[in-house]
Structure 1
């Protein structure tokens, strides 16, 4: 009962293809690939936005709208350094 041989994995693959079908597996693969690509693009954009901001720039302040509910609290977002 050690590691699985190539024959074990081929049998598992055959059962998975028989259960799900090739079209559904292809759709799952393309969806997963698109999600990974979107994640990588998002990580690149996030790194560029942080690098583009000057170090001495003051953080933007969130202000309360006069028409807003009186229970709203005015806060200021600060960046970690």
Structure 2
């Protein structure tokens, strides 16, 4: 147990190093984005966003149809009886 404190380093980084590291972590890896795999991943992301929007629009119109927006009892009974 006496060896443990000698193996632990209490040295900390300077604030300048920490700021540079956090800024570089936010930059995208352009080499990966330009690769085929990166391009496919971006394409999947744009496709996923389009599908999400389509599901949202579908849910909105399904809710509107369920609520019966745009029709009332009089028009629905008349339209149903006379074709």
TM-score, normalised to structure 1, is 0.47
Q: Which has the higher helix share?
A: 2
Larger Rg computed on CA atoms: 2
